[in-house]
Amino acid sequence: MQRFINNPDEVVEDTVKGFVKAHSDIVRLAENPRVIAARNAPYQGKVGVITGGGSGHEPAFIGYTGKNMLDAVAVGELFSSPTAKSFYDAVREANGGKGVVCLYGNYAGDNMNVKMAVKMAAKEGIEVATVVANDDVCSAPPEERKKRRGVAGEIFMWKIGGARAASGASLEEVRATAQKAIDNCRSIGVGLGPCTLPAVGHPNFQIEPGTMEVGIGHHGEPGVRVEPLKTADAIARDMCRIVLDDHALPEGTEVAVLVSGLGATPLNELYILNDTIEAEITGRGLKIYRTYVGNYFTSLEMVGATLTVMALDAELKELLDVEVHCTALL
C-alpha cells in the first residue's frame, strides 16, 4: 500500500483531527469525536439538517458541513455506518428547537442506526424526519426503486435541504423538498480500478486491467456488467443512456449535472467525460442549468467516475443557487 497513513485502525481518527484543524473557521468537533458540526450550529429557530455515513468518501460526508448546508455529520469507520449514538449526537448538535431532518443514503447499517437514533431523539422530545437517498440506478430495477443505494445524488439532496432549512421552512417543508430533490436524481458509477481498506491491506474487489465495471457502487458493489474498457466517449454515452432512460424526462427539462471522480481518477479525465456527457444530455433536448465536475464523493483510491443528473423546477433552481460555505462545494 502506497499510502499516507499511521495506524491503519486509526485512519478515521487521524482524518477527523486533521480536517478540524484545517477548517476550524467552518466546522468544530462535537463532544462525540465521531460527530462534526458546523461551527455556529445549532441555529435557534432553524430546522437542523444532518447526515452521516462511512468514512473514505471524502469530501463526503464531512466536507458538506457548513453554512446553508449540513449542520452536523455522523462519522462512521471506513465504509461503515456511524453508530446510532453518533447519529443521535449529530441530531443534538443540529437541534435548534424546530426539529431535525436526517438526509442519508440507503444502506442497511445506516437505515438501522438512523431508526434507533430517531427513537433516542424522540425520547428527548426532538422530532427527527428522514429522507433516504436511492439515486443509484443500477442497484435495483425501476419497480424496486426504494431498494436502490444512495450515491452522489446525496450532495444535491443536502444542498437543496440545507438551503430550504436556511429559508426558515418547517420540518415537514424541509423534508418534502429534500425528498423531491433526491426523487429527481439518477446516478451511475463506472469503476476502472479497486480500492484498499488500509486495515485489510489488499483490494476489497477486483477489476481486471483492460476491463471496467458498469454500475459499480461506492464500496465496489457489483454493477450490471463487466466489459472491455472503452473510450471516454463510449463510456460517457453509456452512462447517459442508463441514467436518462431511467429518468425519462420531458424535453426541455432543466437539469443539474454532477460528474464526480471516485478518488484516483485525474480531474482532466472527468472533463473529458463531461465533454460527451454535455453533448448527450443536450442532444436529448434537456437544458443544463449547472454542471459540477470534481472529486465530490469518492471511494478511497478507487479509479472511476459517477454521473448524477437532477431534474430541476423553479424551486430547486432557486435553492441550488443559494450560496453555501463548506469545504467541498463552491
CB of 144 to a second copy, least distance (A): 30
Q: Does 200 bind a second copy (CB under 8 A)?
A: no
Distance of alpha carbon 144 from alpha carbon 134, whole angstroms: 10
Given 23, 57, 218, 247, the catalytic residue: 57
Please give the sequence-ordered ranges of beta strands (E in DSSP) within the chain, or none if there are none: 27-29, 35-38, 48-55, 72-78, 100-105, 128-133, 185-193, 211-214, 225-228, 254-261, 287-294, 303-311
For a second copy, which is the closer residue by CB, 42 or 194?
194
For a second copy, which is the closer residue by CB, 100 or 257?
257
Cβ-proximal residues to 211 (8 Å cutoff; 6+ apart), any chain: 226, 227, 228, 229
212, 229 contact by CB (below 8 A): yes
Q: Quick one: how far is CA 160 from the chain centroid? A: 13
CB of 280 to a second copy, least distance (A): 12
Given 23, 218, 219, 247, the catalytic residue: 219
CB of 214 to a second copy, least distance (A): 13
Burial 185-211 (b: 16+ CB within 10 A, else e): bbbbbbbbbbbbbbeeeeeeeebeeee
Could you say which of 15, 80, 130, 170 contacts a second copy (CB under 8 A)?
Answer: 15
Classified as helix, coil or strand, 264 is coil
Could you say which of 141, 271, 285, 287 contacts a second copy (CB under 8 A)?
Answer: 271
CB of 252 to a second copy, least distance (A): 19
Distance of alpha carbon 314 from alpha carbon 137, whole angstroms: 25
Could you say which of 273, 286, 310, 311 contacts a second copy (CB under 8 A)?
Answer: 273
Among positions 248-267, residues that touch a second copy (CB under 8 A) are 259, 263-267
Specify whether 57 is catalytic. Answer: yes
Q: Does 147 bind a second copy (CB under 8 A)?
A: no
Distance of alpha carbon 106 from alpha carbon 150, whole angstroms: 5
Which residues form the catalytic set?
A: 57, 219
Site residues for a second copy per CB under 8 A? 2-6, 11, 14-19, 21-23, 25, 55-56, 58-59, 63, 192-193, 207, 209, 212, 229, 231-233, 235, 259, 263-276, 278, 290-295, 298, 300-301, 303, 305, 327, 330
